[in-house]
Amino acid sequence: MTTNRGLEDIVAREISVLVPDAEKLEIGKSRVYFEANKEAVYLLNLWSRTIHRLLMVLGRERCKSLEDIYCFVSSLDFTGIIDRKQTFAVRAERSGKHKFSSPEIAATVGQAIIDSYLRDTGASLRVNLKFPDVEFMCYLVNDDFMITVNTTGESLHKRNYRVYNHPAALKATIASSLIMLSEWKTEEPFLDPMCGGGTIAIEAALIARNIAPGLFRKASFFFERLLPFDRDEYLKVRDEAERRANHGVYSITAIDISPRHLKGAHLNALSAGVHDTIRFIKGDARFLEKYMDIQPRVVVVNPPYGIKLTRMKHVPILYRDFLKSLKKVTERACLVVITAATRVFREACKEAEISIVERRLILHGALQTTVFKCVIG
Ligand SMILES: C[S@@+](CC[C@H](N)C(=O)[O-])C[C@H]1O[C@@H](n2cnc3c(N)ncnc32)[C@H](O)[C@@H]1O
The CATH number for 28's domain is 3.30.2130.30
Q: Are residues 87 and 203 in the same domain?
A: no
Does some domain include residue 239?
A: no
Give the per-residue pLDDT at 305. Answer: 87
Residues 110-135: b if buried by 16+ CB within 10 A, e if exposed = bbbbbebbeeeeeeebeeeeeebbbb
Q: Rounded to two decimals, what is the model's pTM?
A: 0.94
Contact 128, 60 (CB under 8 A): no
Does some domain include residue 237?
A: no
Give the per-residue pLDDT at 366. Answer: 84
Q: Which domain holds residue 107?
A: 8-150
Whether residue 197 has its Cβ less than 6 Å from ligand 1: yes
Q: Are residues 177 and 146 in the same domain?
A: no
Residue 344 CA to ligand 1 centre (angstroms) = 16
Give the per-residue pLDDT at 312. Answer: 63
Of 120, 150, 180, at which residue does a domain stop? 150
How does pLDDT run across 195-242, given as a tens digit for each residue? 999 999 999 999 999 999 999 998 899 999 999 999 999 999 999 999
Q: Are residues 123 and 92 in the same domain?
A: yes
CATH number of the domain within which 278 lies: 3.40.50.150
User: Which of 183, 218, 178 shows the shortest CA–CA distance to 195?
Assistant: 178
Contacts of 333 (CB under 8 A, 6+ apart): 295, 296, 297, 298, 299, 326, 375, 376, 377
How does pLDDT run across 303-346, given as a tens digit for each residue? 998 765 445 678 999 999 999 999 999 999 999 999 999 999 99
Cα–Cα distance measured from residue 286 to residue 265, given in angstroms and rounded to the nearest whole number: 20
Which of 202, 206, 257, 317 has most ligand 1 atoms within 8 Å of CB, for mutation? 257
Q: How far is CA 189 from CA 25, 182, 303, in A?
A: 33, 12, 19
Q: Are residues 114 and 252 in the same domain?
A: no
Conformational region of residue 153, where left means phi above 0, alpha means psi within -120 to 50, and beta covers everything else: left
Q: Are residues 182 and 126 in the same domain?
A: no
- Where are the alpha helices (H) located in the chain, listed in sequence order? 8-18, 38-47, 66-74, 102-121, 172-182, 199-208, 231-244, 259-272, 314-329, 342-352
Whether residue 262 has its Cβ less than 6 Å from ligand 1: no
Q: Are residues 142 and 198 in the same domain?
A: no
Whether residue 292 has its Cβ less than 6 Å from ligand 1: no
Does some domain include residue 189?
A: yes
Give the per-residue pLDDT at 320. Answer: 96
Q: Are residues 281 and 337 in the same domain?
A: yes
Does some domain include residue 215?
A: no
* Paired strand residues for 300: 336
Contact 114, 125 (CB under 8 A): yes
Does some domain include residue 272?
A: yes
Give the per-residue pLDDT at 308. Answer: 55
Q: Are residues 67 and 125 in the same domain?
A: yes
Beta strand 144-150 with 134-141: parallel, antiparallel or unpaired?
antiparallel
Going by CA atoms, what residue is nearest to atom 5 of ligand 1? 196
Q: Are residues 203 and 143 in the same domain?
A: no
Q: Are residues 25 and 126 in the same domain?
A: yes
Does some domain include residue 166?
A: no
Q: Are residues 306 and 362 in the same domain?
A: yes
- In this prediction, residues 80-109 reach a mean pLDDT of 97
Q: What is the mean pLDDT of the chain?
A: 95
Beta strand 298-301 with 355-364: parallel, antiparallel or unpaired?
unpaired
3-state secondary structure of 145: strand
Residue 307 CA to ligand 1 centre (angstroms) = 12
Going by CA atoms, what residue is nearest to atom 27 of ligand 1? 196
Does some domain include residue 357?
A: yes
Q: Which residue has the higher pLDDT, 158 or 365?
A: 158
- Count of domains in the chain? 2
- In this prediction, residues 242-270 reach a mean pLDDT of 97
Whether residue 254 has its Cβ less than 6 Å from ligand 1: no
Does some domain include residue 53?
A: yes
